[in-house]
Chain A
Amino acid sequence: MFFNSVQYALFLPVVFFVYYMFPKKFRYLWLLGASYYFYMCWEAKYALLIFGVTVATYAGALLIEMFHEKKRDKAAKVVLALAVAVNMCLLFYFKYTNFLINNINRLADRLGRPGFSCLDIVLPVGISFFIFQAVGYTIDVYRQEIYAEKNFFRYALFISFFPQLVAGPIERSKNLLKQLAKPVELDGENLRSGLLYILYGVWQKVLIADNIAVIVNHVYTDYMNYTGMQIALATVLFGIEIYCDFGGYSNIAIGSARLLGIRLMQNFDSPYMALNVTEFWRRWHISLTTWFRDYLYIPLGGNRKGTLRKYINTLIVFSVSGAWHGASWNFIFWGFLNGLFIICENFKHTSLPSVRRAWGDCPKPGGNRGCISACGKVPKQTDAVEKWMKRMVTYLLVDFTWLFFRADSFSTALRMIKRGCSHPGLRQAVAGTDLALFGSSRMLLVILASVAILLVAGIINERGISVADAFFQQKEWFRWGVYIFFTAMIILYGAYGEGYEQTQFIYFQF
């Protein structure tokens, strides 16, 4: 059941109405049932997997807490290690076994040895998300940042809560578990903002991402018949596609949860408005980035053990993040490349004043000309043109890494780059014939208009104004105009297949 499907459009209202009809005390039980039903729509047997993860981490957390109370920290550590190991083994089995076998086979092939046959494993939807959420909870209990949840069913809901079950945001126990314990009131503000989030998310997914996907898929499937400029254009478009696809998903998730009175964390903060790659990663898939920061980067030593160790840690974290996205070398390289960019930026920022001056950064720490502070924001004095230039450079850098993310394999990505260099197709690009990729001028216009709207939303957000809050302060006629405009755009120009076969969200495969 995809978020952009008619089934979900029927499922959500049913869950919503029954939820508020239930006595407050037992509403979470209804949500738990609905969440398991939602997950079982994909593959019923994998509900057992979630259940297993839930039981393991629930029991693990209780044991850890018990050992802490008895001051047996070593035992608590052992239980934590066991709980994490069990979860990671499950993740490894489902996600990385065949990747490992394939790599062993490649090696064996070179050595002239026989290989192994791959296992018939179907990757359970959202496994990387719910396992990370469960592991995060267990670590939080170990760190005594939260108490272990005693109510098994409430904890089971925390792991399986349907709006964020299959593609995040990877929620923190501190945020979500607390909310699940509180009785929820039917609230007009939550409904209004929830519906707005859903509308905006569907618009991002069905109108922008799915329409762009048609172009990107053509080029990436048949790249040998396209020029370098066309491949570059498709890659630039993919940057928008993946943002709208995943951002759209996250907005629908946040909106759906809000209808049920639960506030999920924001997963995106206008990432393409970032002035550098480091800042981009503070704004992109925030729930995963912060998860890696809190549960991997900091335990590895973070930036506390010297510059070299910091760089190594950065590379490790980003490579693992790449592997988290997919069991393939192209994902790992994608992560590694992002890590490399961040190290370069850091190097530039901390080590080479001349480079920093050339880049326009402040000449000394604490200066204010273009200096990117720890929070990633830039002082107002910085020239607007310079900011936009930086944004463009950041976009191009990040977008270059998306090529590895989107390509079928690492070797395909390299072949695409090679193809692009050998057949740049500059003349064709100058003549404007590459625009034929859009299919029709109407589609080009729709995509351009949509991107312009995204940009305006990004600029508003960048000024520290919540787009949703600003929207609800507008006059009613304006709000209704926007509702009608967005709905009409989705209905008229949204990409639905024949028979309305919804395209899967990109992040569902992770």
Chain B
Amino acid sequence: MVRDMSRRSLFIFNFKEKKGAVCVIAKFIVFWTVILVFFFSVVSPEYLYGYNASLIDKVARLESIHGPKIVLIGNSNLAFGIRSQLIEDAFEMPVVNMGLHGGLGNAFHENMARLNVCEGDIVILCHSAFADGEANPDLTWITVESHWKLWKIIGMENIPVMLKAFPTYMKKSLDLFLTGTGNLTVDSSYSRNAFNKYGDNVYSRTHEEYFSFEEGYVPNPPGISDSCIERINRLNDSITEAGGILLIAGYPVAYVDAYPDAGAFREFSRELGEKADCPVISEYEDYFFEAKYFYNANLHLTEEGAVKRTNQLIWDLRRYLSGEGESD
């Protein structure tokens, strides 16, 4: 009886009979494991001093503050548009500017807001889009590389596209590795060195001559998608549960000759306030800035512009905290 059972045991039976096949499978797995281990331990990271690598420092700061803090979440409109020191002085709370890159997508940025949420935290979302565009998985790879701590920011829904983009990242990294051109520091606003301890880009920025808005450029309010709102509401629930608050604030909007349609932005703000469970603390109209305050893109402010925008945000936050007003 015992003998009979061991015969039926799938593992023992198969292994003895299929030793050759099992060896081939094992070798195949080992081969690819060795390649991946080599890649992630020796080759990667190759973008250690790039712009996106600033996330390593931002996350480190975020996780080092175990008390109430102000966390700014959004794309490069924050990286190139905030003076965190001013906010810290105004509210006497530590500030972390997590703003990074629009190409990573809203979801990626929102996942940063879930890291180390403490009671009393104020998390401010400064999205410039509420209809989810396609996130760029190549950019996500360049950002997270072999920094395991950052991998938790990647949402499960991004895994398939990340897998799809892996060969490209691997190829680029190997190329940098073999040519010795990876991990180079550069003197540019697009480098890790350009960020201060808060996560603000403090590279000297003036309205560069080469940058000009298209003739007749008139910005429109962003669209709002249900999926984005649902995700923000879920984030709100989770932050509220942890004892923090989630707020939505404005992003810089450029105007050149024609003033943007303030009515349309008010309508957008009203709709956003109705759909989102968290308060919208800004009037988007207050964030309309002249083109001269913009650095090299329509969301990137000059140093002067960043101060102006930060002061507006402080004003909005103060108004909200004093209970004076939510735009909704």
Contact = CB atoms under 8 A, between A and B. Distances in A.
A43 interface: no
Contacts of A187: 18, 20-21
Contact of B28 (A186, A190, A195, A494): A195
Interface string B215-237: 00000000000000000000000
Interface string B153-172: 00000000001111110110
B35 A487 contact: yes
A359 B28 CA distance: 51
A116 interface: no
A186 B167 CA distance: 30
A186 B171 contact: no
A191 B163 contact: no
Contacts of B136: 499
Nearest to A483: B31
B18 A491 contact: no
A496 B24 contact: no
- Bin the interface of chain B by size: 20 to 34
A186 B174 contact: no
Given A186-B18, A189-B20, A195-B24, A499 B171 contact: no
A494 B170 CA distance: 11
B168 A496 contact: yes
B37 interface: no
Contacts of B14: 186
B50 interface: no
B232 to A, nearest CB: 26
A500 interface: yes
A500 B165 contact: yes
- Bin the interface of chain A by size: 20 to 34
Contact of B165 (A190, A191, A499): A499
A107 to B, nearest CB: 46
Contacts of B18: 185-188
A334 to B, nearest CB: 34
Contacts of B20: 187-189, 191
Interface in B138-189: 138, 163-168, 170-171, 174-175, 178
B321 interface: no
A6 B171 contact: no
B24 to A, nearest CB: 4
A491 B171 contact: yes
B23 interface: yes
Given A499-B137, A500-B168, A6 B25 contact: no
A186 B25 CA distance: 11
A187 B19 CA distance: 9
A186 B21 contact: yes
Interface in A1-41: 5-7, 10
B41 to A, nearest CB: 16
Interface in A453-510: 483, 487, 491-492, 494, 496-500
B166 A191 contact: no
Nearest to A193: B24
A277 B164 CA distance: 41
Nearest to A495: B171
A490 B173 CA distance: 14
A192 interface: yes
Contacts of B23: 188
Nearest to B10: A21
Interface string B193-233: 00000000000000000000000000000000000000000
A473 B164 CA distance: 36
A273 to B, nearest CB: 31
Interface string B17-57: 01111111100100100010000000000000000000000
A502 to B, nearest CB: 9
A498 B138 contact: yes
A200 B280 CA distance: 57
A187 B18 CA distance: 7
A185 B17 CA distance: 10
Contacts of B28: 191, 195
Contact of A491 (B24, B137, B174): B174
Contacts of A189: 20
A494 B164 contact: no
B179 to A, nearest CB: 11
B163 A10 contact: yes
Contact of B163 (A6, A492, A497): A6
Given A195-B28, A487-B35, A496-B168, A188 B21 contact: yes
Contact of A500 (B19, B21, B164): B164
B158 to A, nearest CB: 13
A191 B21 contact: yes
Interface string A409-444: 000000000000000000000000000000000000
Given A191-B21, A192-B24, A483-B31, A494 B171 contact: yes
Most buried by B among A6, A483, A498, A500: A500
Contacts of B25: 191
28 contacts: A6-B164, A6-B166, A186-B14, A186-B18, A187-B20, A188-B19, A188-B20, A188-B22, A188-B23, A188-B24, A191-B20, A191-B25, A192-B24, A195-B24, A483-B31, A491-B167, A491-B171, A492-B175, A492-B178, A494-B167, A496-B167, A496-B168, A499-B137, A499-B164, A499-B168, A500-B164, A500-B166, A500-B168
Interface of A: 5-7, 10, 185-192, 195, 483, 487, 491-492, 494, 496-500
Interface of B: 14, 18-25, 28, 31, 35, 136-138, 163-168, 170-171, 174-175, 178
Given A189-B20, A499-B168, A500-B165, 16 more contacts: A6-B163, A6-B166, A10-B163, A185-B18, A187-B18, A187-B20, A188-B18, A188-B19, A191-B21, A195-B28, A491-B170, A492-B174, A494-B171, A496-B167, A496-B171, A499-B165
9 shortest interchain CB distances as A-B pairs: A188-B20, A191-B24, A188-B21, A186-B21, A6-B164, A500-B168, A186-B18, A188-B24, A496-B168
